Structure 1
Amino acid sequence: MNFLHISALPVWSMDGKGGMPSLRETLKGHLAAGHDLQLVLPKYDPFSDDDKPMFVPADKGFVLHFAPCRWLLPLKKLRVQARGKGDSIPFGFRWILNVTMLLGLTTSLMVKAMQVRRNGFVPQLVYAHNQYAALAGYLLGRWFKVPNVTRLYGTFLADLMNRPLVSLRYPTAVAGYLVPSALLICANDGTRGDEVARKFRIPDHRFRFWQNGVEPPSQPPQVTRADLVARFGLNLRLESRWAVSCSRLSYWKRIDRMLRALAVCRGTGVDCQLVVAGDGPEKENLHTLAAELKVSDQVVWLGAVAHDDIWALMNTADVFMLTNDVTNRCNPLYEAAWAGLPVVSVNDSSTSDLLHHRANALLTEKDDTETLGNLLSEICRDEQLRERLGQAQKKLSETFWTWEERMRVEVAELEKLVSGVGVMAGGR
């Protein structure tokens, strides 16, 4: 079958070392099932401030088309100016910018997709990634007379649904739910997208709430700690305990909590290094905070790291740290469980069914960095505790889908949708 994908999200950010693993795995899963894919992307990442064209790998396996989106660069500059030296934009102006971007992306993605159709690719399904592509997906589906699918990668709406005029105040976020689709797939990532769907009365027969899969290597990485020290530099010390963090350096990821915990841990006399894999807008602020806390020599900033190296870190580190604000139910947590890596994290309803204090993790309240640091110190000092929690993590990972399993379920439903059989509700 011919699947036309349109996305407002980058598939390979950070020059191909990061980005959206769930989006990449979706594309890989559709290809693995034998379907023909063509993907339409904006030429520039709408959600970053830089003006670099999107990165394209050589071995993508499908046909890629860029919508020029010449209007996007001026809009991005305007967004930076509106933000000024602060972290936020006044609500009214942010509303205008977001709606403008939604309408601009809808137009640009549609124009390019219609050109793809004129060039001979006849789609049997339109698959839109993210709320900013949802309206274009719906209009293209109607134009081509084929089913359209919307895929959402989390939401911030769950805590706002009881406030008045939500649809008017957050039209771009709401678009992912209210723009009609034959099937709406929402990630079970802890942001409670299922609650939002119920509030908007999305019928069960066209809604799927699925947890992401994990794609482990066929065998554990053969890389040793000494190999990683040689690869990443002498700042990474072989004799230290390694606490690894894998995330984009955005504010809501709250790497600052880890730095404060690291300072407490150091005060107990434990030699622990925080190994941070990731890059992002908070990098400079975090470096400054590390210096203020006098832990700069205890932090190893790896920047964007290839996925194979993430697996190697997971299999050689001593502990995994995760202290996000919004949700801690994320792909790195699943991968840490698969690697049998014990977790030091925060109490969070999004992971209450996955992480249990002193069963497979050590947990404290989100802003109690003193206790967080003491827990980090404890697990670094206690080898038996690390072993016991790690074994429990491995047991937890047995309940997860692999990406192959996750995509097999999705592809089966898409094939039924295209063939007109319809879909049945279900899934993890």
Structure 2
Amino acid sequence: MGGGCCQPQKVGLNRLISITYKSFRNRDTMRIAMVGDEFYPAIGGAPAYTMGLGMALARLGVEPTLFSHAHPRQAKEEEFNGLTVKRLKGFVISRFDRAISASLAKRLHECIKFGGFDVVHGQDIYSPMALQSIYSARRRRIPSVLTCHSIHKTAGLWQLIYRPLVLMMCRANRVIVVSNATREFCRVLGVPDHKMEVIPNGVDLSKFNSAVDGLRMRARLGLGSEPLVVSATRLVRRKGMHYLVAAFLKVRKGVPDAKLAIAGKGPEAANLRARIKELGIEDSTFMLGALSHGQVAELMAAANVFVLPSIVESSPLTLLEAMAVGVPVVCPRAGGVSEVIEDGINGLMVPPTNVDALADAITRILSDKQLAKRLRGSGLKIVREKFSWERAARQTLELYEKVREEHAKRRTQH
């Protein structure tokens, strides 16, 4: 889910009135323009990726500036632990959290043109602002990188839909893909292998760790020691939450006092509430809406099992966050999940959309304390070793340096 609880610090207008001044302050420091529509307080993988990566890059001595669209409840200019944020006005399609306008595109182009940036990094292939930034970077002869987080359909008419998007992806110097499954998705679309670099997602281990106390969240929900099943994600159809509530009905037959808590918001929220009522499990189910980073961590710490019932996933941040907190996980055998989870070792995997298998896996963890303990320990170990934001930031910084060198070499040859 990756919803945000990082408190911003307001930045004075004079500091950012002209980012041109800033570009000459320290030319030994690499300056990165990160661009994307979705950012705090939005929830989901892309905004969490931008926040986590940006702050980790700042800790490595990079000077990152994020350009996103204006938000009614957020300052135009903010700072998040070294990540400078500048929000630009534009017409926002609120359902999709995307901004489109000629004035925004012009302003973004000016920011990139005069910002003295070494690399431009578009944060999401489905973000108009990110795609615009790749176009602007190419016009200004600045090396660029674009990140692909997702896996979607590619057959039939989808090929036509993706054609202009792939054209822009190929204009970037590199495309970061968050898993090998995402790499295959991009390959099918037509992105050349040499353009792609696999850099897995990370977890903010300062917020998601085994020291997080779940007792406050249990108290908020009015729970004592009852078994708690938790899921946290955007409520869209492909996340498979309707399979989870159907499976939970079956879980209750074996574990009658079990409770279910769902965190997140999205277009499927109303349908999900209706389905919960239809199944007669509203008295044992909590629909919590959007939560902050800290609240999500506390919810995970309160859980006996975390469930990700998605139909397909690339490299889900919430799964990594749950493992970092120390809760056993159940997830689909689909997409990039198998690159994180080894079935029976650090989680239980089930076929996507299989309600019976999902219910059985949840029940196994709730009923077998030794299994839960083993999964918990292995999950903690793999996240600490392989999925920190520091690790992801170092790999990304190496890629920035590589594209700068390649770009400089090509310019000297022409």
User: Normalising by the residue count of structure 1, what TM-score does the alignment of the two structures yield?
Assistant: 0.76
Tell me if structure 1 keeps the 8 A contact 2:169–2:191. no
1:241 aligned to 227, 233, 237, which one?
A: 227
Percentage of matched positions with identical amino acids: 20
Judged with a 3 Å threshold, the aligned counterparts in structure 2 of structure 1 residues 372 and 218 are, in CA distance, closer, same or farther, namely closer
Partner of 1:217: 206
Cα 1:64–1:388 change in 2 (3 A) is closer
Q: Which amino acid in structure 2 is aligned with residue 69 of structure 1?
A: G
Shift of 1:422: 7.5
> 2-side partners of 1:28 and 1:247: how far apart?
22
| 2:135–2:168 Cα contact (<8 Å) kept | no
Distance in 1, Cα, partners of 2:408 & 2:111 = 27
Are residues 1:170 and 2:167 paired?
A: no
- How far residue 172 of structure 1 moved from its aligned partner, in angstroms, is 4.9
How far 1:193 moved relative to its partner?
Answer: 2.8
Residue in 2 that maps onto 1:261: 247
How far does residue 293 in structure 1 lie from its aligned partner after superposition?
A: 0.8
Structure 1 position 287 matched with structure 2 position 273: yes
**Match of 2:352, SS?**
coil
What's the CA shift for 1:300?
Answer: 1.7
| 2:32 counterpart of 1:6 | no
Aligned-residue offset at 1:369: 1.4
State the 1:218 CA deviation. 7.6
> CA separation in 2, counterparts of 1:216 and 1:421?
34
Aligned length: 376
Which residue does the alignment assign to 1:413? 399
Unaligned runs of 5+ in 1: 45-51, 80-100, 424-428
1:130 maps to which of 112, 118, 124: 124
Give the match's secondary structure for 1:130: coil
Give a deviation string over 1:326-385, Cα, whole Å, max 9, x none.
Answer: 216311112222333222233325323443443433333333313322332232122122
Find the aligned partners of 1:396 and 1:59 in 2 and give their Cα distance.
Answer: 31
Matched to 1:184, the amino acid is V
Partner of 2:334: 348
- Check whether the contact 2:149–2:315 (CA below 8 A) recurs between aligned residues: no
Question: Could you state the TM-score of these two structures normalised by the residue count of structure 2?
Answer: 0.79
Letter in 2 for 1:67: L
1:42-53 residue pairs with structure 2 within 5 A?
A: 42-43=69-70
Which runs of 5 or more structure 2 residues have no equivalent in the other structure? 1-29, 410-414
Q: Secondary structure at the match of 1:325?
A: coil
Looking at structure 1, the residues matched to 152 and 399 of structure 2 have their Cα atoms a distance apart, in angstroms, of 27
Equivalent residue for 1:149, pick from 130, 145, 151:
145
The residue type paired with residue 62 of structure 2 is: H
CA shift for structure 1 position 214: 1.9
Rounded Cα–Cα distance in structure 1 between residues aligned with 2:75 and 2:243: 32
> SS of 2:225's equivalent?
coil
Closer, same or farther in 2 for the Cα pair 1:346/1:2, shift >3 Å? Answer: closer
Pair 1:258–1:197, CA change in 2 (3 A): same
Q: What is the alpha-carbon distance in structure 1 between the residues aligned to residue 208 and residue 330 of structure 2? A: 26
